[in-house]
Structure 1
Amino acid sequence: MTIANTPKPPYYAVIFTSLRTDGDNGYGAMADRMDELAAQQPGYLGIESAREELGITVSYWRDLESIRAWKANAEHRIAQETGRSTWYSDYKTRICKVERDYGLDDAFASRAE
């Protein structure tokens, strides 16, 4: 796993937080497929995910239109429906505009100035 290499803001983040039901029930394979499929969508910028007790997946997108297109993707809609009926006991989706970002390299750069 790596940290997504996003462009200079602004861009958008979709934060999907979930609580899983018991058992895999095909979840792992579908999660891998959704990561692969999302990466093929126009406007996709990257993804970061941790799927343990509390699942958190953050995907990054160029604009709101790209997010809408991903939500409407036929294969993604099947995953959404299966998530509601089988994989999740609860979930929340949040869509945010990223206005600023920085990381370790930026911290070193600002100390040097």
Structure 2
Amino acid sequence: MRSLIAIVLLTAALVAQAEDLDTRVERLAQELRCVVCQSQSVAESSAPLAVDMKRQLREGLAAGRSEVELREELVQRYGEQVLYRPALHAGTAPLWFGPLALLAIGAGVYLRQGRRREEPR
């Protein structure tokens, strides 16, 4: 009877650990961009490279490596474009501020065109 209880408890612990690992892999895969698809996260993509990246994440986390270590390894291998939220530094400033700058330029052109129409000729 004790053996059966021990087996049940061990099985429950293993299932809980596997679910935790799945959750961690999924969360980390959502933060990474598929370098083949570009428009999908690694979690969403079915490209062979994305499947391989998910496998690497699972193996790394199962081996006790941290999410930070795995993320840094993928950045070294594929560059910062693999991150959906790259760190802010001189190389990634255009990614962070480019859309805002384009919006400001567009607003400036729009306002300038509006003033030209209002001026009498």
**Taking structure 2 as the reference length, what is the TM-score of the superposition?**
0.28
**Structure with greater proportional helix content:** 2
Structure ID, larger Rg:
2
What TM-score comes out, normalization by structure 1 length? 0.29
Task: Flag the structure with more relative contact order, 1 or 2, with Cα contacts below 8 A and sequence separation at least 6.
Answer: 1
Between structures 1 and 2, the one with greater strand share: 1
